[in-house]
Structure 1
Amino acid sequence: METIIPTNCEAKMVVKLKDGRWEVIAFIAEHNHALIHKSSLNKYLRSHQGIPAEEKYFVKNVQNTNLTSRRRMDIMSEFYGSELLVPYTTKSITNYCATLTVEETRDGDMTEVINHFVEQKEKDSDFYFRLECDEEDRVKNIFWVDGPARRAYAEAYHDYVSFDNTYLTNK
């Protein structure tokens, strides 16, 4: 493995927006290190990372096919002719798929939970649930109990039950 040695390169370009147009106000072209000459390595540069929009569309469309990120990369490698020519990494696909999953489930999960609880309440009048939300209206805590469990606790404990949800957390 190659060791990365900082060079404190001062090459840079500074731009500023003036009157609706971008103007270069400083430019230093000289580098004190060798530049990358293999285009297949550009995908590892932060400035070149990311999946093109039309390929994001493809990745999104195959989201529900249960293909792994590795398999999706294999497909893109076929399109490009080689994995070396794909302008992003398998990790980029994994990260993008993770953002899709978060977007898809952001509102749906809690809606399903609440709908399920409402259905249970209709079937069992002793079913009880309570949600506690934070200041941004995100669910912090959920508590639920069905009628048979409430009756069993009432028979066994009469007044109250306390749950220690920190049990064994500091093991």
Structure 2
Amino acid sequence: MLSTISTSQTNQCLAGITIACKDDKWFVRTVALDHSHELCPQTSNLIRVNRKLNMLAKHTLEVNDDAGVRINKSFMSMVGEAGGYENMQFMEQDARNFIGQHRRSLCKKGDGQALLRHFSKMRDLNNDLFYDIEMDEGNRIISVFWADARSRAACEEFGDVVSFDTTYLTNKYDMPFIPFVGVNHLGQSILLRCGLLSSEDTSSFVWLFICWL
């Protein structure tokens, strides 16, 4: 069994090693040390394998997030304190990933179960309530979608044109509240569906629109 050779996506650099397995033993097959580009040792701290968030960085991000400071502003403040990007041990995306995990971990403290109990109770009162909840591998809530009987009926009548907005941040988890809004025969805005997303990435929106359909 041989490993596949992966080139750099930006400059087709073939520098690297390949390994092979024979008789349950791994060995180095080829070594290529020549790069097709200039090296920048001063930025090696931002290579994925070298990036890390220390305890101080994690604490700062958590405190700022709980205080409502946006991640990009929090990160830029830390860059300034470090004296520039070249002195950082992580990137903004690493900070976003950490805060995403931090927000989802809050659901372990009982709020997630409370939400499930609420939906179950509402379903008992009206079987036309629809809801769906996406969980991660740690059984923490990632995304929520729901529509009550009134909204579903309104969607049947006025769902030809629908808009949705992800700019509402009205909860302590900083999960955007996403209303799906239509217009009735009187020109009034009406609520058709609702959602909460912990991350505004492609997979989250795909999940949301599948629920809508």
The reply to whether residue 69 of structure 1 matches residue 80 of structure 2 is no
Q: How does 1:1-171 map to 2 (within 5 A)?
A: 4-7=10-13, 9-12=14-17, 14=19, 25-26=27-28, 28=31, 30-34=33-37, 36-40=39-43, 42-43=45-46, 45-105=47-107, 108-109=111-112, 111-112=114-115, 114-115=117-118, 128-129=125-126, 163=153, 165=155, 167-168=159-160
- Are the aligned partners of 1:12 and 1:28 in contact in 2 as well (CA < 8 Å)? yes
State, as a whole percentage, how many aligned pairs show the same letter. 5
- Are the aligned partners of 2:45 and 2:88 in contact in 1 as well (CA < 8 Å)? no
Aligned mates of 1:98, 1:140 — CA distance in 2: 15
Query: TM-score with structure 2 length normalisation?
Result: 0.44
Task: State the structure with more CA Rg.
Answer: 1
Change beyond 3 A, Cα 1:83–1:163: same
In the TM superposition, residue 59 of structure 1 has moved relative to its aligned partner by 1.7
In the TM superposition, residue 90 of structure 1 has moved relative to its aligned partner by 2.1
Aligned mates of 1:66, 1:108 — CA distance in 2: 19
More strand by share: 2
Change beyond 3 A, Cα 1:140–1:129: farther
- Are the aligned partners of 2:119 and 2:131 in contact in 1 as well (CA < 8 Å)? no
Structure 1 gaps of 5+ residues are 17-22, 121-126, 150-161
Query: TM-score with structure 1 length normalisation?
Result: 0.52
RMSD: 4.6
- Are the aligned partners of 2:65 and 2:71 in contact in 1 as well (CA < 8 Å)? no
In the TM superposition, residue 108 of structure 1 has moved relative to its aligned partner by 1.6
- Are the aligned partners of 1:69 and 1:94 in contact in 2 as well (CA < 8 Å)? yes
Change beyond 3 A, Cα 1:116–1:37: closer
Q: Which moved more, 1:64-73 or 1:136-145?
A: 136-145
In the TM superposition, residue 64 of structure 1 has moved relative to its aligned partner by 0.5
**1:101-136 alpha-carbon deviations (Å, 9 max, x no partner):** 222236624514635986x9xxxxxx92457778x8
What is the aligned length? 138
Change beyond 3 A, Cα 1:141–1:73: closer
- Are the aligned partners of 1:49 and 1:88 in contact in 2 as well (CA < 8 Å)? yes
Query: What SS class does the counterpart of residue 100 from structure 2 fall into?
Result: helix
Match for residue 5 of structure 2?
none
In the TM superposition, residue 93 of structure 1 has moved relative to its aligned partner by 1.6
Aligned mates of 2:111, 2:31 — CA distance in 1: 51
- Are the aligned partners of 2:17 and 2:32 in contact in 1 as well (CA < 8 Å)? yes
Aligned amino acid, residue 37 of structure 1: C
Aligned mates of 1:24, 1:35 — CA distance in 2: 31
